[in-house]
Structure 1
Amino acid sequence: MDCMNVIAAPAVDGALVLSGRFQRPLSLSLDQLRRYDSVTATPFDLRCYTTNRFIRSVDAYRGVRLTTLITEAGLPNDVRGEFKRTVFVAVGQDGYVVTFSWHELFNTPVGESVLVAYECGGRSLDAEDGAPILFSGADLLPAPRHVKRLARIEARVLT
């Protein structure tokens, strides 16, 4: 599948699809995401990556770790170590794309802070609020990997 197909994939408000090189592709509603064990992120200031301009303060997000969802969907390992060459492409409904590597998510502290959020400041979020929201809490500047209306996580194995 080329990048254009990943970006152009259809989206459903409030639903998240894990597809591509997963053993068990998933389609999850916000209610289903809320059933997973959750973690809470530290509040932060959203700032523009290029100018460092203050955008807004964001209260504490609550959500499920992306690694939890990836683990449930399962990664290929037909060839020894294949899963370690996997990259994950997160796509918002508007076509905004961010990436993570398997090593980054599962072999560094970054993975512990990458959430698919469904709550902010103790308040449930819905599709109108931009949920689900992908948030990478360990990034120096969180704006570049802050994806509202997260539609898909595509798993791709690099050759």
Structure 2
Amino acid sequence: MKIRILILTIAILTNFSVNGQRTILQTDSFLVTGKIKNPTTFTLADLDTFPSTDIKDQIIFNHNGEVKDTLTGMSGVPLKTLLASIIYVYDKPKFLNEFYFVFIASDGYRVVFSWNEIYNTETGNNFFIVTEMEGKKLYDVDQRIIFISTADLKTGRRYIKGLEKIEVRQLE
């Protein structure tokens, strides 16, 4: 009887710990949509056509400042390079101050950036879509498509794996 209770307890605890882990499905493209003239999809093949930049090794810290991972051998396309072809829909330039971008991962994880953060700060120059990691091309990276902000202090908060969509929105 005690063994049955022990086995049942272990099975229940194992189930909870497995369910606590989110599965991040790799993506082969991501869609940019919202307050733009034409929704645009970027595929792995598309990303290969852009010039890539070497990215220094990154230590990924969680919200408590604890080391979670170290990313090495990276290169990537600057986010602003990808977004250069996007035409935003607005009446006057001042309305761009109301624009924000919601980055959505395949597991539902979301991160928000303002238009000014991307285009009007030094931080925006440090946003990348990773095209190579640990010497592997993007096609061979399990967590693709990856977005990283290399200027963040707690890098894990805006380290997005399985990027699926970027929604461009305007405050109402």
Q: What TM-score results when the alignment is normalised by the length of structure 2?
A: 0.79
* Aligned counterpart in structure 1 of residue 101 of structure 2, from 88, 103, 119: 88
Task: Flag as ranges the 4+ runs of structure 1 deviating above 6 A.
Answer: none
Residue of structure 2 in register with 1:38 after alignment: 52
Map Cα deviations across residues 95-151 of structure 1 (whole Å, 9 max, x no partner): 000011111111111111101112113321237611110101111111000000100
> What secondary structure sits across from 2:164 in the alignment?
strand
Q: Kindly indicate whether residue 62 of structure 2 is the aligned counterpart of residue 48 of structure 1.
A: yes
Please give the per-residue CA displacement for 1:6-27, whole angstroms capped at 9, x wherever unaligned.
Answer: xxxxx98311100011122111
Give the superposed CA RMSD.
1.8
Corresponding letter in the other structure for 1:81: K
Task: Supply the distance in 2 between the matched residues of 1:80 and 1:124 (Cα, whole angstroms).
Answer: 38
- Partner SS, residue 129 of structure 1: coil
Mapped pair 1:69 → 2:82: yes
Matched, 1:154 2:154: no
- Which segments of 5 or more consecutive residues in structure 1 lack a partner in the other structure? 1-10
Q: Percent identity?
A: 27
After superposition, residues 121-132 of structure 1 pair within 5 angstroms as 121-126=134-139, 129-132=142-145
Decide which of 105, 114, 117 is 2:130's aligned counterpart. 117
Name the SS for the 2:77 alignment partner.
Answer: strand
Q: Is the counterpart of residue 134 in structure 1 residue 147 in structure 2?
A: yes
Q: Which residue of structure 1 lines up, in the alignment, with residue 9 of structure 2?
A: none
The 5 A counterparts of 1:12-31 are 13-31=27-45
Give the paired residue count.
148
* Alignment partners' CA distance in 1, 2:67 and 2:77: 27
Name the SS of the counterpart of 1:112 in structure 2.
helix
Paired residues of 1:127 and 1:149 also in contact (CA < 8 A): no
Q: Which is helix-richer, 1 or 2?
A: 2
Q: Show the counterpart of 1:6.
A: none
Letter in 2 for 1:46: I
Using the size of structure 1 for normalisation, the TM-score is 0.85
SS at 2:56's partner residue?
A: coil
State the alpha-carbon separation in 1 of the partners of residues 42 and 140 from structure 2.
13
**Any stretches of 5+ residues in structure 2 without a counterpart?**
1-24
Deviates more, 1:26-35 or 1:124-133: 124-133
